[in-house]
Amino acid sequence: MTTTDDRTTAAAVDPGPLIKLTIADCAAKVLHSAVALGVFGALADGPADADQVAAATGLHERMAPDFLDALAGLGLLERTGDRYGNSPLAEAYLVPGTATYLGGFVELTNETLYGTWGRLTEALTTGAPQHLDPDKGGFVGDRHKDPEKMKRFFAGLDAYSDRMGVEIARAVDWSRHTSFTDLGGARGNLAAVLVKEHPHLTAGVFDLERTRPLFTEHTTRLGLDGRVAFTGGDFFTDDIPKADVIVLGHILHGFGTDRRRELLNRVFAAVNPGGRVLVYDRMIDDERRDPERLLSSLHMRLVSQDGSEYRVGDLRTWLAGAGFADSTAQPLLGTHTLVTAVR
């Protein structure tokens, strides 16, 4: 092929998607900074001009116009004349103090993703997981040393599990069950959402013993002291508390296939006859074509020794091998997949 042919071919292909991909992290950092500076909270009471937003958030006058207009271009703010207001998306999820606030999750991803992904090339060539400071979360969140940082880590997860809990509360016919256990339920946030939505349920959380003080503090603050029971232990060595329903959210993606099968066998033994298991993760489509799910899987390979996301079809095979039947799959929040199966 000649040089001329190369130029002709290049001219026929728009480089725009490549450029957008190259700078994709810039948009995410704009969001992270807006949350950190309190932009959406500053606009919670109504629109304001750039000077007013700058005064409320500490934005420098040189940076404010492009920053605020970029937020508007990303659909997070709305601009009318010289005044800015929260978009419906930001109003729903990014105003601090609201029940649907996801800012904690935004902050958590900012802290945990960038340092890890900065080591991607090293991981790709060595195969070694890129562990960061345990107090900054990631898959090594169970190794926290600082209780206050651990609380902050869980607070970021809670921001997401609030919405996840509401979706799961609606996705399952809970009237057929009387109890559930959330494996790896941390300080009990998802369990709290479920018992608020379905008060007839007896709720439990099974997690590492070191999590108990944070669980007690959090459920007491939510007014659910005594409504959700905590059992400390290890998934693979201690008995899983029996229940009609056992929930595994963001659990299986942390292990390799053999450990997943082992854990599902243990879960089957703990589910009461006629009960079911609920599994949610950012599962890969069976054709392995969804880039967002594949990026999530790559992230798990970055931060864990054996973890990754997995295909829905594979999970159904593992569930059947453990003894479960009638597995079904449905989308959850547009980002996850929920698979259920019956004992």
**Phi, psi at 280, each rounded to 5°:** -130, 140
- Given the residues 144, 253, 299, 336, select the one marked as catalytic: 253
How far is 110 from 294, CA to CA, in rounded Å?
19
Sheet holding 48-49, edge to edge: 48-49, 83-86, 77-80
| 35 in Cβ contact with 94 (< 8 Å) | yes
How far is 111 from 107, CA to CA, in rounded Å?
6
Cα distances from 138 to residues 167, 175, 291, 304, 306, in angstroms, run 24, 35, 21, 9, 14
253 has catalytic annotation: yes
Structural tokens at position 259: 């450990």
Length of the chain: 343
Nearest CA among 81, 3, 5, 89 for reference residue 40 = 89
Give CA angle at 146 (143, 181), nearest 5°: 55
Cα distances from 145 to residues 150, 154, 276, 329, in angstroms, run 8, 14, 35, 37
Structural tokens at position 105: 């999750």
Coil/strand/helix, residue 145:
coil
Structural tokens at position 260: 């997943």
How far is 142 from 80, CA to CA, in rounded Å?
46
Q: What's the first-to-final CA gap in the chain, in angstroms?
A: 62
Q: Which residues are catalytic, by number?
A: 253
